[in-house]
Each structure stands twice: as structure tokens, then as C-alpha cells.
């Protein structure tokens, strides 16, 4: 949709232009907030990086809190597009579950959000600051946990995973491995941490898969670059 050639009224056009400007602002805002945190995302810094005046930029948002909330939702849209959607292209069951976990790790590993996982950082920054920002972050991370858990339940319903597995427990463990890998990578630049997280997750998929589910695992593992992931002596 080429907004330059649209034939809408000037009101609509100027709204569209405002929307594009807002979009451009939020792209930069997500970058800054990923690296410096949502408080480090100051209006002055954001304005200078966009070569705008502070007040010109500020006119797009009613308050700093509004800017933070808009930035969070932009990051959520980015995450859905790059992690959730590709996973939903896979069949329900172990394949989709794995794609969710693997996509999360790849998203961080490839530095697509510069400061590590935007939400892991934001959660830790705001977990002791009550307010709308904290609530929104918490709700979005709960969406993610719910998505993981649903994929686990679907794996059981598809007969690919042992029905005795407790979905919230397994979702907690998978989420923990993601947080652990992110932590290790951010603090030490340790890329091995992603392999460790994948190893831990695959080990669990192996142990909990049914005979029918186990048939899917070789194709899942074939997509991981040839590390001797599952080849512990024993």
C-alpha cells in the first residue's frame, strides 16, 4: 500500500502520515529500549536520534508512560511476527512446540532484538515498579507462557507426548532454559548457552515423547546445525 499515491482526504492522509511517523519513532524506540531499558529510553535521546525536537516527538504520545506502552506493543508485534507466526506454520504437536522454543532462542541468538530479549529485560526492570507498564509486560509474558503451554497440551492431544506430563511444569522449565540462555549470552556473550538450552529441551522432548511422537524427533534434530547435541556417553 503506497501511501504517497493514496487519494484519501487530507485529514486521512495526514493521519496516515502521523501513523508512519509514529511507526518510525517506535522502531527506534524498541531498539533503544532493548539496549538501555525502558527508563533509559528518554524522550531527549529518542528525539535526537530521529533528528526531531523533543516536543515534536512528544506530541505523538501523551506522556512517557504512553511512549513506553506503545514501545512495548511494538516489541510484541515484532516478537509475534518473528517467533510466534513461523511456529504456527508448523503442525500442532511436537514440531510446533519445538519451533516455538527454537525460534525464541534463535531470535535472541541472531541479535534481532539488540539488547537480548526485550521482554526479559523489561520484566526485570519493572518487576518492582507497579503501574500500567509493569502490568502490560506481565500480561505479554503470560501470553507467551500460555502459548508454550498450549503447544504442550496439543502435543499430548496429538498422542505425541506422555499425557502424564504436567503442562505448566514443562512450560516453566522451557521458559527457564530460555531465560538462562539469554542471561548467559547477554552477560558473557556465551553462544554455547543456546546449545545448552536446546540440549535441555530436546532431552525432555525425548523423555516425554510417545512412540508416535518419537518418530518426529529426528527431523527436528536434523535442523540443528551438526552439534553432537544428543550424544552423551551412556
How many CA atoms does the CB half-sphere of 224 hold within 13 Å? 22
Among 21, 42, 109, 186, binds a copy of itself (CB under 8 A): 186
Interacting span for a copy of itself (CB under 8 A) from 62-70, 83-91, 94-102, 193-201: 193-201
Among 13, 16, 35, 42, binds DNA (CB under 7 A): 42
Dist CA 183 CA 105 (whole Å): 12
Residue 75 neighbours by CB distance under 10 Å: 24
Site string for a copy of itself, 130-169 (x = CB under 8 A): ----x--xx--xx-------------------x-x-x-xx
Residue 57 neighbours by CB distance under 10 Å: 21
β-pair partners for 209: 161
What is the distance of C-alpha 130 from the center of its chain?
A: 22
Among 19, 127, 212, 230, binds a copy of itself (CB under 8 A): 127
Which is it for the CA torsion 202, 205, 208, 211, positive or negative?
negative
Dist CA 215 CA 123 (whole Å): 38
Interacting span for DNA (CB under 7 A) from 40-48, 104-112, 117-125, 183-191: 40-48
Residue 128 neighbours by CB distance under 10 Å: 7
Q: Is 11 in the site for a copy of itself (CB under 8 A)?
A: no
Contacts with a copy of itself, residue ranges (CB under 8 A): 35-37, 39, 114-116, 120-121, 123-125, 127-128, 134, 137-138, 141-142, 162, 164, 166, 168-169, 172-173, 175-177, 179-181, 183-184, 186-188, 193, 196-197, 199-200, 232-234
Contacts with DNA, residue ranges (CB under 7 A): 17-18, 21, 39, 41-45, 51-59, 63-65
Amino acid at each position: 500500500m503506497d501511501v504517497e499515491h493514496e487519494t484519501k482526504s487530507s485529514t486521512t492522509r495526514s493521519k496516515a502520515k502521523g501513523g508512519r511517523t509514529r511507526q518510525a519513532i517506535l522502531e527506534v524506540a524498541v531498539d533503544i529500549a532493548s539496549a538501555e531499558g525502558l527508563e533509559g529510553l528518554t524522550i531527549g535521546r529518542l528525539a535526537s536520534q530521529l533528528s526531531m525536537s523533543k516536543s515534536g516527538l512528544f506530541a505523538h504520545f501523551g506522556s512517557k508512560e504512553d511512549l513506553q506502552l506503545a514501545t512495548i506493543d511494538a516489541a510484541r508485534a515484532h516478537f509475534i511476527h518473528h517467533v510466534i507466526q513461523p511456529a504456527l506454520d508448523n503442525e500442532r504437536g511436537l514440531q510446533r512446540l519445538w519451533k516455538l522454543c527454537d525460534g525464541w532462542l534463535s531470535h535472541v541468538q541472531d541479535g534481532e532484538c539488540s539488547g537480548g530479549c526485550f521482554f526479559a529485560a523489561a520484566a526485570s526492570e519493572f518487576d518492582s515498579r507497579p503501574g500500567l507498564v509493569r502490568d502490560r509486560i506481565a500480561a505479554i509474558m503470560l501470553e507467551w507462557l500460555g502459548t508454550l503451554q498450549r503447544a504442550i497440551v496439543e502435543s499430548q492431544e496429538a498422542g505425541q507426548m506422555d499425557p502424564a506430563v504436567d503442562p505448566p511444569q514443562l512450560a516453566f522449565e522451557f521458559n527457564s532454559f530460555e531465560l538462562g540462555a539469554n542471561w548467559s549470552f547477554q552477560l558473557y556473550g556465551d553462544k554455547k548457552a543456546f546449545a545448552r538450552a536446546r540440549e535441555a529441551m530436546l532431552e525432555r522432548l525425548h523423555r516425554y515423547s510417545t512412540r508416535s511422537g518419537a518418530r518426529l524427533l529426528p527431523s527436528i534434530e536434523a535442523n540443528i546445525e551438526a552439534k553432537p547435541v544428543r550424544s552423551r556417553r551412556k
